[in-house]
Amino acid sequence: MPPTKLILAYVLDWILIIAIVAVAGGISFVTPYHRPFSLVDLAISFPYVEHDEISTALLVVLSLVVPAVAIAIVTALFVPAFSRSRLRDQRYWTRKLWEFNAGWMGLGLSFALAFFITSGIKNLVGKPRPDLLARCQPDLNDVAAHVVGGYGQDISQRWTLVSSSICTQTDSKLLNEGFRSFLSGHSSMSWSGLGYLALWLASKFNMLIPYLGHDTPSKRNDEDDTIDQEARDRAAAPPVFGAIIVLIPICLAIFICTTRYVDFKHQGIDIFSGAVLGIITSWIGFRWYHGSLSRGQPWTWSPRSKDCAFAVSSGANGWIVDDDNGILMRERRQRTAEFDVEAGGSTAPIAK
């Protein structure tokens, strides 16, 4: 069994991730800033679509539940590689437990960060949605009483900037949502979960960019052909069917983004910005617990120890992922060059 203090270290991580989600959820109940708008702005004059093609509940299922289930299934069946001789090996099941934890924690971190940042930016910016006027139902009988800026009065009384006080909408929730256009929550959420799943699948199915290292010959000489052949033999392109597996969650995330444009809920820049945020958080969540795909390292970081993580006592020292067997083992960590070269002594690669 892993040390109690090591277990508590990851329990604390889960508590903090859940706390971030809870705070983000609370922010969504705060009244956002209502940015002034123009009654003749065609960009916010689109009709209000009551039923979203992808509802918020369905978004959570597709962006969080589906990736979590996919991680569970792939880990149960393929990580580590199935072997009848190892079914009774406790270390084999311990390794699976660690892969479950690392896979889910990365997903949770990615989703929580995207949710928190998105909720905060939405309320701070208060950008009108493309369907704001349909939500607002402005009072056109006394526009002048609500003017806050603009110099188009000589052209038309409506050619000014007005505040949200002009709205006659009685549903405050519906109206407040009209000022949460930037950035797209559907875009950031979908990419945070499905983008993470794509990276995780690429790691577990070895869909990696071939990496030769820094010692690849750069100068030509009499033995060019031999040297180049040796370099080429060190790596190979991954199979196309594996790329298709990785592309499935990416295509789903793209589809979710497009529905927000079709439903007149966001402008293009809102969707693009949300996708960028989701991609960034998915990368952070993935790299927090896994090696780099671009350097040909398809492995999960080892559990924390006193030598390679903050606030883990010596009681947790030595729990690492063994390079040969791909399992968790209780042993004293040795400071060798093998560990220090790339990861600063923080981990060892796992066998696939």
**Domain residue extents for the chain:** 33-210+236-295
Q: Is the pLDDT of residue 148 over 70?
A: yes
Chain-wide mean pLDDT for the chain? Answer: 80
| pLDDT (average), residues 30-57 | 93
Q: CA–CA separation, 22 vs 99, rounded Å?
A: 25
Place of tokens 């139902």: 137
pLDDT of residue 251: 96
Place of tokens 């009384």: 157
Q: Is the pLDDT of residue 163 over 90?
A: yes
pLDDT band at 214; cut points 50, 70, 90 = low
Q: Classify the phi-psi angles of 150: left when phi > 0, otherwise alpha if psi is within -120 to 50, otherwise beta.
A: left
For 115-129, b/e burial (b = at least 16 CB within 10 A) is bbbbbebbbebbbbb
pLDDT band at 312; cut points 50, 70, 90 = low
For 351, the token pair is 């066998």
pLDDT of residue 18: 95
Q: CA–CA separation, 297 vs 316, rounded Å?
A: 25
Q: In what order do the strands lie in the sheet with 37-38?
A: 37-38, 161-162, 147-149
Q: Is the pLDDT of residue 298 over 80?
A: no
Weakest-pLDDT range from 219-228, 260-269, 279-288, 343-352: 343-352
Residue 55: other Cβ atoms inside 10 A: 11
| pLDDT (average), residues 310-338 | 44
Residue 31: other Cβ atoms inside 10 A: 12
| pLDDT (average), residues 140-168 | 84
pLDDT of residue 344: 37
> Could you say which DSSP state residue 166 is in?
G
| pLDDT (average), residues 74-89 | 69
pLDDT of residue 233: 67
pLDDT of residue 333: 41
Each residue of 23-33: pLDDT tens digit? 999 998 999 99
pLDDT of residue 210: 67
For 263, the token pair is 């439903």
Contact 312, 306 (CB under 8 A): yes
Each residue of 229-242: pLDDT tens digit? 666 666 677 778 77
pLDDT of residue 334: 41
DSSP string, 72-107: HHHHHHHSSPP-GGGTT-HHHHHHHHHHHHHHHHHH
pLDDT of residue 156: 72
pLDDT band at 150; cut points 50, 70, 90 = confident
| pLDDT (average), residues 115-122 | 96
SS3 37: strand
Q: Is the pLDDT of residue 125 over 70?
A: yes
Weakest-pLDDT range from 102-111, 271-280, 293-302, 326-335: 326-335
- pTM exceeds 0.85 for this model: no
pLDDT band at 228; cut points 50, 70, 90 = low
Q: Is the pLDDT of residue 36 over 80?
A: yes
